[in-house]
Structure 1
């Protein structure tokens, strides 16, 4: 029913390390990774000069616990640049629960030739390179030029190979302070960074010495703190302690919700625990959002009503690395699911029911699999149901997308009356976006959308960032439809 922390979310912050320049760069650095003070993994950053090129490699290995299950994930990114920081090529290798995705990119004439390999499928395409986007060495040099005078502020456009996105990073240097580290106390310069991910900026803080060598980095994740501490190889690779990240993502309901209420329309009043934080929830044909007195009021109707939401574009029909809708296995499965149904709504209803039964093993151990992986090995939780529903719809020419949010549960993992992290699919049928939830018994007004995407884990960041940082103040049953 719930989804694992997406690997790219963690990488977005952890791989921001090279944004801070080393006057004399260390060739190899190791870090222990802590969540809420408990060790969950290791991170390595390596820089090599090879003739006229600089190669930076960063590797992350984590083990996450969720409701008693262990999910191992890892990612390695390698970037090749000129000595003056001009990007040449990159590679991202991601591993999650045995599934591996490789993205290779090579720059040529202002664009990047991209090759993606996943689930035995290879996809090639050419993407325009964002103007001014930098890889690690270019970012390092930008920080070196800016210096460490307190109050210094500088900007850089950071390209993330794992997501094929660029995000602006604003860095601000603060006055030096004493910092406790495994090797003793050091006087370091704090550098605060704001990474402008769409809809959900991430803020990190790093502590560096006078040579701009990083010794500590922190970032908020789901209301707790993720910390990296520089140490030796033995320290970084010591046994993990483990911590259950899932419990932190549950949102208590102020009261029990009845089945008949959820079958109609509900109005929820949400607020950020941090008063300065801004909640940005999407509006859909089922969900209306408005701001009232510092809170966000979300009205959800089980039956979609077309209004101002954008109609589908070409990307909503097309295959991608996570929704391989043109793969023969997916096409055959889609035809098997719908049988003789011809109307798009009926086809999606049959797909929803089919996927519910097709994924026989309901497991939390998968983490995140693509639609093709699920078709070949039908097991997983809500994310596996969602991506397969979306891919089967696209295979039949129906526009679909994947929604990340929360779903109401009377009881879950020992907790009563909670909203649980969840994912489901939407399809554009009868002139509106309608939800289909194969992991549960269909969509109802107990679903709160936090973000809408194309099935790529990276697109879930804006929703994931809210988990553990929002509270539900009021839940009301309403009679009026969404206008």
Structure 2
């Protein structure tokens, strides 16, 4: 998955060298600003206990979606040797009351994992990415590189919340004067490029001669997210709030008719920042062609048989967010499918069932797993998508979760916009076909930005992309 606000901030702070000639601060606080408005706090702790280094990073922010406040939090801890070798990590992510806990122990090149979501715990093993580092190892890599202007170095940063690693390339720039809550300082800027698949992200940090971080900026939905070092009182002062959801609405160049959406649509997407690395997925319903700095995206309401990606074995299995073997999920799947004879008919019935089963259509949930939705049927598009995907897997059908955009004639006071959305795909009749229980169904007004396994970080990653693309043309190709 890639990216999301809570784990990304922890990753960015961890990826920077904290101190060389002096001991790193034991406890450091930051105020978090979005487009100049305070939305939360970040705390980083480091403690040496004998031959081990223990670090903890905690983020708390508050956003708004169409007037509804959404609380997001992330706490990550790591245990390493004083030489930076990884020993263990833990991650707790909170999204509007929904909590996920990950505990990992690194041994002999593999990770022993315990993951708890919605009250259900799963145990498994996975390989440790070769040469990946946790916070202390990343700090030591920066210390070895030094602060000479023009210095460039690379490191592979492990992200506990999403259980993957990203390469970070850091380049030291010339010192400059920086205004901070406690006064101006002369600091060294460090430019970073995080090699996320499809859309590398650039960020900048400002550090002092002892390599302590004082400021960090990164792009989010077309504006800057900024962390400024300050004291605890400053960092934990009341938030000002920011309606982040309004930034994710993408205007349509014109109104789209129902009959157009029932056929085939062709969209021209572009990045105002000319990000040629922009990558959108090809599916059995969506084809993407690069045209200079633009992407021409063709959407067919009905999936076509193509030589595309076939299901992976994991697309049939339960995971932390799609608990398809849980008794509650299995019971609902049988209830939904009834006597349907084919996979296509089973998925159609699942789609209809979930649309009616989730009685409370609300933005208050944030992001809940399929099992949580089965037990408490409320939420928005993500809750619908995860439950559809989990029920499909419980019926032996490969499924996955798509994050992207869906056309709405009107939403949150805006006319003709594409809204952030999620839906499910199932492997039926030799192709991936979409099922959208949150709306009347899938149509050519759906643009896929990413495909995953229900992990929330994959969904929230797409929100960043929305601030960096625009829709220039929308054409119907239906006769």
Which residue pairs with 1:17 in the alignment? 13
Provide closer, same or farther for how the CA distance between residues 31 and 277 of structure 1 changes in structure 2, counting only shifts above 3 A. farther
Mapped pair 1:342 → 2:338 = no
- Distance across 1 between alignment mates of 2:322 and 2:194: 28
Kept in 1: contact 2:260–2:478 (CA 8 A):
no
- Distance across 1 between alignment mates of 2:357 and 2:217: 42
Query: What root-mean-square deviation, in Å, do the aligned CA atoms of Structure 1 and Structure 2 show?
Result: 1.3
Which residue pairs with 2:370 in the alignment? 371
How far 1:300 moved relative to its partner?
0.5
- Distance across 1 between alignment mates of 2:307 and 2:67: 42
Query: Structure 2 regions of 5+ residues with no counterpart?
Result: none
How far 1:342 moved relative to its partner?
2.0
Which residue pairs with 1:301 in the alignment? 300
SS in 1 for 2:162: coil
Which residue pairs with 1:384 in the alignment? 383
How far 1:461 moved relative to its partner?
5.5
Q: After the TM superposition, which of the residue ranges 268-277 and 233-242 deviates more from structure 2?
A: 268-277
SS in 1 for 2:289: strand
SS in 2 for 1:47: strand
Which residue pairs with 1:88 in the alignment? 87
Kept in 2: contact 1:272–1:278 (CA 8 A):
no
Kept in 1: contact 2:2–2:162 (CA 8 A):
no
For residues 268-316 of structure 1, give each alpha carbon's deviation from its aligned partner in whole angstroms, at most 9, with x where no partner exists.
0110011245321100000011012421100001000011211101011
For residues 420-439 of structure 1, give each alpha carbon's deviation from its aligned partner in whole angstroms, at most 9, with x where no partner exists.
00000000001100000000
- Distance across 2 between alignment mates of 1:428 and 1:275: 35
Which residue pairs with 2:171 in the alignment? 172
Which residue pairs with 2:190 in the alignment? 191
Mapped pair 1:329 → 2:325 = no
- Distance across 1 between alignment mates of 2:120 and 2:144: 43
Provide closer, same or farther for how the CA distance between residues 284 and 299 of structure 1 changes in structure 2, counting only shifts above 3 A. same
SS in 2 for 1:466: helix
Runs (4+) off by over 6 Å: none
Q: Count residues with an aligned counterpart.
A: 476
SS in 2 for 1:469: coil
Which residue pairs with 1:116 in the alignment? 115
SS in 1 for 2:465: coil
Mapped pair 1:223 → 2:222 = yes
For residues 357-401 of structure 1, give each alpha carbon's deviation from its aligned partner in whole angstroms, at most 9, with x where no partner exists.
000000001000000000000000000000000000000000000
Which residue pairs with 1:284 in the alignment? 283
Kept in 2: contact 1:134–1:156 (CA 8 A):
yes
- Distance across 1 between alignment mates of 2:183 and 2:318: 52
- Distance across 2 between alignment mates of 1:310 and 1:320: 20
- Distance across 2 between alignment mates of 1:428 and 1:356: 20
Kept in 2: contact 1:252–1:417 (CA 8 A):
yes
* TM-score, normalised with respect to structure 2: 0.97
- Distance across 2 between alignment mates of 1:250 and 1:298: 18
Mapping for residues 255-274 of structure 1, pairs under 5 Å = 255-274=254-273
Which residue pairs with 1:65 in the alignment? 64
SS in 1 for 2:184: strand
Mapped pair 1:460 → 2:444 = no
- Distance across 2 between alignment mates of 1:325 and 1:353: 18
SS in 1 for 2:196: coil
Q: After the TM superposition, which of the residue ranges 286-295 and 165-174 deviates more from structure 2?
A: 286-295
How far 1:66 moved relative to its partner?
0.9
Kept in 1: contact 2:80–2:88 (CA 8 A):
yes
Mapped pair 1:315 → 2:325 = no
- Distance across 2 between alignment mates of 1:81 and 1:43: 21
Kept in 2: contact 1:319–1:326 (CA 8 A):
yes
Which residue pairs with 2:424 in the alignment? 425
How far 1:459 moved relative to its partner?
2.5
Kept in 1: contact 2:6–2:73 (CA 8 A):
no
Query: Structure 1 regions of 5+ residues with no counterpart?
Result: none
